[in-house]
Structure 1
């Protein structure tokens, strides 16, 4: 077993519901309800993501139903855009564009930050050519924490202790409960203990770490000096 840090393509939905730019309002609403999603990518014939239509985009029509949707000169840009969408009938007219997308190779942390920054619940995922590869939601990002304690312990022992640090697992005791890892035992150097702790914290599924490792020699205080003869 080797350590494997999850990226977006590992947790995304690979066959997302999409709509074409000319699909009508009612059909889009029906799709959102049928598949239980809050937004769908608008995709062109070349699989390029043109935008995203969300429940919020569709609700503008309800919000301004029967009201004057003429955009005033001094209205906020957001209000003007909402009124424009209220008159929209197709995905191209209703969508939010350009879409916020995330590369399939991005880390889950990067995807989560994008969602937080743009206040969205899901992101279209694109490949190296910029074509739609899938869609990732907030729920998908939580999958990294759904790994079993046994799997996490295996990654710590085989991936960190044996695979990276070449440590005898007998020297370090690894306990995992609810995703929380506890390391006990003794290693030769303090820097080794620090590296072990850093690598374990970065493993998928780890929610916390209790580091009780001891060391025989503190090599972190050494200062290396080099003298050159001129």
Structure 2
């Protein structure tokens, strides 16, 4: 049982642009490839930034208007005006680029996208070189696993592999990615761990916990923590 990593779902064939590529060529390439943003990379394949449709639209937004920043103008407005005068990828791009490691779990990529409000991330190796790109839709691949695959991970990876439980002690049913656990285990903490590990399995959209236990060891844990 191994959680999916960024390298498992990323696209390895990535169209990139050089820092000196011109405005029109960038616009043409975005339309031709059918994407909203492209990584800007140097000769060493290190990601310098990302140039997007939004970056190019600043020129349309101001369309010859005064682009000299005011003394008390907000930072975002100053940057937009600066990009409106840009002619190359280096002048138009947003940088430094927000990247993600190929070895990162999908949850890390999802949090980066949410935090920085971006739809895709350049993927880099341990040396910072571009190896691919991951988009929001790629992160959904973890939920494309079959119910049989998920059930096997619960049985072999969680119950037998981690908790050393006999398969007859816990019944596992999976329907459309939702897992139901029923049966009886020795301790309450064992049941809690089983549910928590099951939720973390790729493809699981929810867990119904119907597990019973013979001994509530969590009360002892709380009592010990209180006494200490």
Secondary structure of 2:173's counterpart equals strand
**Aligned-partner Cα distance in 2 for 1:46–1:120:** 24
Map of 2:139 onto structure 1: 141
Q: Distance in 2 between matches of 1:9 and 1:214?
A: 39
Give the whole-Å Cα distance in 1 for the aligned partners of 2:41 and 2:202: 32
Q: For residues 150-189 of structure 1, what are the structure 2 equivalents within 5 Å?
A: 150-189=148-187
Q: What CA distance in whole angstroms lies between the structure 1 residues aligned with 2:220 and 2:69?
A: 69
Please give the secondary structure, in 1, of the residue aligned with 2:186. Answer: strand
**What's the TM-score, normalizing by structure 1?**
0.92
1:1-230 correspondence to structure 2 within 5 Å = 3-222=1-220
Shift of 1:218: 2.2
The whole-number CA distance in structure 2 between the counterparts of 1:196 and 1:154 is 14
What is the count of residue pairs matched by the alignment? 223
Deviation at 1:44, TM superposition (A): 0.3
Query: Cα deviation per residue 1:152-194 (whole Å; 9 max; x = unaligned)?
Result: 1111111111111121212111111111100011112222111
Which residue pairs with 1:228 in the alignment?
A: none
Residue segments in structure 1 that go unaligned for 5+ positions in a row: 226-230
Structure 2: unaligned runs, 5 residues or longer:
none
SS at match of 1:206: coil
TM-score for the superposition, normalised by structure 2: 0.93
Q: Distance in 1 between matches of 2:27 and 2:167?
A: 56
